[in-house]
Chain A
Amino acid sequence: MRRAHAIRGRRRVTGREGKAVDPVLTTCPFCPCGCGFYLLAREGRTEGVIPSASDPVSRGRLCARGWASHEAPAWGERLTEPLLRHDGRMRPVSWETALDAAAGSLAAMRRAGRTIGVLGSARATNEENYLAVRMARGALQTPHVGTCLSPAYQPLLDGLHDVTERHAGSGGVADLEGCDVIVLVEGDVAVTHPQVAGAIVRARKAGCRLVTIGAVASQMTRLATLAIAAPPGRERAVTFELAAAALATGRLDTATIVAAGETFDELRRSLAGVEVSKAVARAAGWYAQAQRAGIVVAPLVGDATDLRRLAGDVATLAAATGHLDRDGSPLLMLPARGNLRGACEVGASSAFLPGFAPLSDEKAASRLEGVWGVPPARETGLDATAMLSAARGAVIVAEDPSVVLPAGALAREALGRMECVVLLDAFATGALELATVVLPIASFAENDGTVTGLDGRLRRVRAAVGPPGMARPGWAVLGAMLGRLGPAAEYESAEGVRREIARAVPPDAAPRWRELDQVGVAPKGERNGLRRRSLGPLTPCEPVEPAPFVALWNGVFDWGRDPLVRYSPTLCRESVAQRKLFPGGFVELSKEAMERLGVRQGWPVRLKSAGGEAVAPALMRADLAAGVVVVPFALRDGLAPAMGGRSVASVAVERA
């Protein structure tokens, strides 16, 4: 009985049987817009959503996912008891047994010098991610900590940091509505970030000029004043040109130029002679002249270097034209999923300590030692994919890596090879069958804590009902594991963890972790825009070999298999149908391409690349450029060989 009581968070919040309890104000668990709303519950089950007109982000407007967010916790397949694998079979065990087994295995592996990885998640709160970081870099002394989605997001933050003083953009979603010009580096924000898309629609209605940059036509490109087609996966080719064109307009911010001094000349030299298309020149002119101008970068496929440079391009563009530190001129990098920004901020990262403190930062290290009782592991860790390949043991918080990671099948194999996989989740996912120990935790509807919106605003998550069965809040379970791994850690509440985060992050980041109010706190200074750190030369895009077809994923994330969508009867329908109809995937081709290949709707085509080949049915998509082949991320596994493990690849396509 020694440790069983170490799990906190048993508080029941449900009302009497049959009675509705008061609606609970919380934050949407889906995308990172971070909309607030009230959850309604009855008989211990969430049953509805009430929008909040006074919420600063949503202002009463929710997307389809927000409106259905009560469903997955109440309808989903929930994990309700700790499970331990024994002779290949999962058996229910007590918390005590499960925690002892998990902590015992991990401690033994650590003593034996085995590689251990820890994965936080964009589906977990800041507190849970922070405790995962503390477990990795503190208790387990491993640098391998991160999230599955960071590789598509962290490079954008790094690119901003190359130019500005922070790993963050500026402004919020609502600022977009006041913009005269919006430059949208488009994925498909109407689907991925509806609240952002809504702000853009309303801005358009108010007369804002919208410039979209993207390889594939979308609802936003149809609304655009100017839609600039980018080569697939090479949006950066356009942002570089855009930066060059803006400098050529001469409408630059004098203060920035003066402050930049010689580095501005380097920048100018790096952009001299860049050929700029008419469309880009127009867009640059609009942006430079605008009183308030926004830049939005949707989650993009492409390699990390390109993403980092793209963020550098747009930050340079914003700095040189004076928009970077101007109120009402937002610069927004959209994380693919809910709390991705928060997870990165609290240190779920291979390259940073909590609060984006560099690994080499001695002050940060000693601050953490003071809080954790041990100095943090300070090596650079492996990213999620490499970590799973290398590690013999893993702790995974609220994630199914095989669904989220680009190389899903490989992640599955890697997990299957491990000696010990400790899985914390609220929902049954595919990861369950690969786990050694399963620790059932609360879903967002039963949890307390905070998440960070794409605008950096800290938002509260509040429990509307109690967790089902034996499940406990993730922060309490991670706290109990930390207690076993030592040095001692004891948390009374999620708020206790948050107070610890305030002590763990650099002093300038600490206040907002302390001063959280009801609607959340935007990071200090960010409402007033970003400050420039340095301007420097931009690197031109490397030319690519022209290919008859370039295949690319339609995004970086599959909402369909996220448990909050998969287990929502309202939200799961389309992806369930798509999976059923096309179990091996499909590809989308332009009408022109299908005619050229002599294939009709649904006929099989073969995709070939240096990496391999795959056959899938072809579906016609009217708004596609002739040489573009769209591969749905959700069904990427079947087509992975033909893409050679990449998100964008030159391919040959033929009738199969």
Chain B
Amino acid sequence: MDNLFLPRVARIAAVRDETPDTKTFDLVLRQGGEPRDFTFSPGQFMELSVFGVGEAPFCFASSPTRTECIQTTVRRTGVLTDAMHTLAAGDEVGVRGPCGNGFDVAAATAKDLLFIGGGIGLPPLRGLIWNVLDERDRFGKVTILYGARTPTDLVYKDELEEWARRGDVEIHVTVDRGETGWTGNVGMVPVLFDRTELKPATTLAYVCGPPIMIKFVVQELLMRGFSPDSVISTLERMMQCGVGKCNHCCIGHRYVCRDGPVFTYRQIREMTE
């Protein structure tokens, strides 16, 4: 019987600025030796602690197929993320997990995959995207639709270009408001639907982003013939323990930290507070 609350100490190997308020951290676990003995699936999350400040849940932004480090992308919103942003390479944090159910990668085999991300909603998809790309042959067509408020707010800018350069991924990016030098799409994420051919019957759609964006995107997908079972999203809730005990993240009798955070739209629709 393990202590559910005992974090492992991880060293920050690198920090990258994604946007003015978002950073990506490369973490290497110190205890337990190699990071490879820390296995997770995309869509799962970890409880990340800044010692003395506290803990909060963050998704794995990296793929389990990449074992050199664990990555997470953190936007400054609260006390803990403020503290995270003051940390630099060489500093230590606590990592507890993995928590939650994660995406069912096996069920996606041979399917066409549609990733739709909004703003800071791309990081949880990124883990899955790299997992898929690292095992590219197992899956059908891969399409990525990504939107942010402004070009500055786009995360993983280099990778967006890298994915665009690959021949085996279709990617469309849009921003709500353009900036000087922006020559790409302007408008909310749903404007991208007309840029790509959708095959609802054979496609799984993964949607992550702010609640309002999810709402419009899911509406659009259902209208275009997607089944509520093939629209997959992640839920966010206030969490403390991440292990189904503290009761902060309950929706009805479901625990976002244990039954989720990944749910199909059908499951989400059936939940009641």
Expressed in whole angstroms, the Cα–Cα distance for A577 and B79 within the complex equals 9
Expressed in whole angstroms, the Cα–Cα distance for A577 and B78 within the complex equals 8
| Residues in A541-595 with C-beta less than 8 Å from chain B | 576-577, 580
Expressed in whole angstroms, the Cα–Cα distance for A580 and B78 within the complex equals 7
Tell me which residues across on chain A come within 8 A of B79, comparing CB atoms: 576, 580
Expressed in whole angstroms, the Cα–Cα distance for A580 and B79 within the complex equals 9
Tell me which residues across on chain A come within 8 A of B78, comparing CB atoms: 577, 580
Q: Mark B89-102, 1 if CB is under 8 A from A, else 0.
A: 00000000000000
Q: How far is the CB of B248 from chain A (nearest CB, A)?
A: 12
Q: Which residue of B lies closest to A572 (CB)?
A: B79
Q: How far is the CB of A315 from chain B (nearest CB, A)?
A: 47
Q: Mark B59-89, 1 if CB is under 8 A from A, else 0.
A: 0000000000000000000110000000000
Q: How many residues of A contact B (CB 8 A)?
A: 3
Q: Which residue of B lies closest to A576 (CB)?
A: B79
Q: How far is the CB of A575 from chain B (nearest CB, A)?
A: 12
Tell me which residues across on chain B come within 8 A of A580, comparing CB atoms: 78-79
Q: Which residue of A lies closest to B76 (CB)?
A: A580
Tell me which residues across on chain B come within 8 A of A577, comparing CB atoms: 78
Q: Which residue of B lies closest to A569 (CB)?
A: B54
Expressed in whole angstroms, the Cα–Cα distance for A274 and B79 within the complex equals 56
Expressed in whole angstroms, the Cα–Cα distance for A86 and B78 within the complex equals 35
Q: Which residue of A lies closest to B78 (CB)?
A: A580
Expressed in whole angstroms, the Cα–Cα distance for A53 and B79 within the complex equals 38
Expressed in whole angstroms, the Cα–Cα distance for A577 and B81 within the complex equals 13
Q: How far is the CB of A428 from chain B (nearest CB, A)?
A: 15
Q: How far is the CB of B246 from chain A (nearest CB, A)?
A: 13
Q: How far is the CB of A439 from chain B (nearest CB, A)?
A: 27
Q: How far is the CB of B185 from chain A (nearest CB, A)?
A: 26
Q: How far is the CB of A643 from chain B (nearest CB, A)?
A: 30
Expressed in whole angstroms, the Cα–Cα distance for A269 and B7 within the complex equals 77
Q: How far is the CB of A76 from chain B (nearest CB, A)?
A: 14
Q: Which residue of A lies closest to B54 (CB)?
A: A569
Tell me which residues across on chain B come within 8 A of A576, comparing CB atoms: 79
Q: How far is the CB of A438 from chain B (nearest CB, A)?
A: 23
Expressed in whole angstroms, the Cα–Cα distance for A19 and B79 within the complex equals 33
Expressed in whole angstroms, the Cα–Cα distance for A577 and B77 within the complex equals 10
Q: How far is the CB of A653 from chain B (nearest CB, A)?
A: 27
Q: How far is the CB of B205 from chain A (nearest CB, A)?
A: 30
Q: Which residue of A lies closest to B77 (CB)?
A: A580
Q: Which residue of A lies closest to B79 (CB)?
A: A576
Q: How far is the CB of A78 from chain B (nearest CB, A)?
A: 15
Expressed in whole angstroms, the Cα–Cα distance for A205 and B140 within the complex equals 66
Q: How far is the CB of A340 from chain B (nearest CB, A)?
A: 31
Q: How far is the CB of B173 from chain A (nearest CB, A)?
A: 27
Q: How far is the CB of B74 from chain A (nearest CB, A)?
A: 16
Q: Which residue of B lies closest to A580 (CB)?
A: B78
Expressed in whole angstroms, the Cα–Cα distance for A232 and B198 within the complex equals 58
Expressed in whole angstroms, the Cα–Cα distance for A576 and B78 within the complex equals 9
Q: How far is the CB of A378 from chain B (nearest CB, A)?
A: 50
Expressed in whole angstroms, the Cα–Cα distance for A512 and B178 within the complex equals 73
| Residues in A304-327 with C-beta less than 8 Å from chain B | none
Q: Which residue of B lies closest to A577 (CB)?
A: B78
Q: How far is the CB of B49 from chain A (nearest CB, A)?
A: 15
Expressed in whole angstroms, the Cα–Cα distance for A580 and B83 within the complex equals 14
Q: How far is the CB of A571 from chain B (nearest CB, A)?
A: 15
Expressed in whole angstroms, the Cα–Cα distance for A576 and B82 within the complex equals 13
Expressed in whole angstroms, the Cα–Cα distance for A384 and B78 within the complex equals 35
Q: How far is the CB of A382 from chain B (nearest CB, A)?
A: 39
Q: Which residue of B lies closest to A581 (CB)?
A: B77
Expressed in whole angstroms, the Cα–Cα distance for A576 and B79 within the complex equals 9
Q: Mark A420-457, 1 if CB is under 8 A from B, else 0.
A: 00000000000000000000000000000000000000
Q: How far is the CB of A500 from chain B (nearest CB, A)?
A: 44
Expressed in whole angstroms, the Cα–Cα distance for A383 and B80 within the complex equals 41
Q: How far is the CB of A415 from chain B (nearest CB, A)?
A: 27
Expressed in whole angstroms, the Cα–Cα distance for A524 and B79 within the complex equals 50
Q: How far is the CB of B247 from chain A (nearest CB, A)?
A: 15
Q: How far is the CB of B237 from chain A (nearest CB, A)?
A: 15
Q: How far is the CB of B63 from chain A (nearest CB, A)?
A: 33
Q: How far is the CB of B256 from chain A (nearest CB, A)?
A: 19
Q: How far is the CB of A512 from chain B (nearest CB, A)?
A: 45
Expressed in whole angstroms, the Cα–Cα distance for A576 and B80 within the complex equals 12
Q: Which residue of A lies closest to B82 (CB)?
A: A580
Q: How far is the CB of B70 from chain A (nearest CB, A)?
A: 27
Q: How far is the CB of A75 from chain B (nearest CB, A)?
A: 12
| Residues in B128-160 with C-beta less than 8 Å from chain A | none
Expressed in whole angstroms, the Cα–Cα distance for A483 and B79 within the complex equals 44
Expressed in whole angstroms, the Cα–Cα distance for A322 and B199 within the complex equals 82
Q: How far is the CB of B5 from chain A (nearest CB, A)?
A: 16
Expressed in whole angstroms, the Cα–Cα distance for A526 and B146 within the complex equals 71
Q: Mark A237-265, 1 if CB is under 8 A from B, else 0.
A: 00000000000000000000000000000
| Residues in A83-114 with C-beta less than 8 Å from chain B | none
Expressed in whole angstroms, the Cα–Cα distance for A45 and B167 within the complex equals 63
Expressed in whole angstroms, the Cα–Cα distance for A534 and B14 within the complex equals 77
Expressed in whole angstroms, the Cα–Cα distance for A388 and B201 within the complex equals 74
The 4 closest A-B pairs by CB, nearest first: A576-B79, A580-B78, A577-B78, A580-B79
A–B pairs, 4, beta carbons within 8 Å: A576-B79, A577-B78, A580-B78, A580-B79
Q: Which A residues contact B (CB, under 8 angstroms)?
A: 576-577, 580
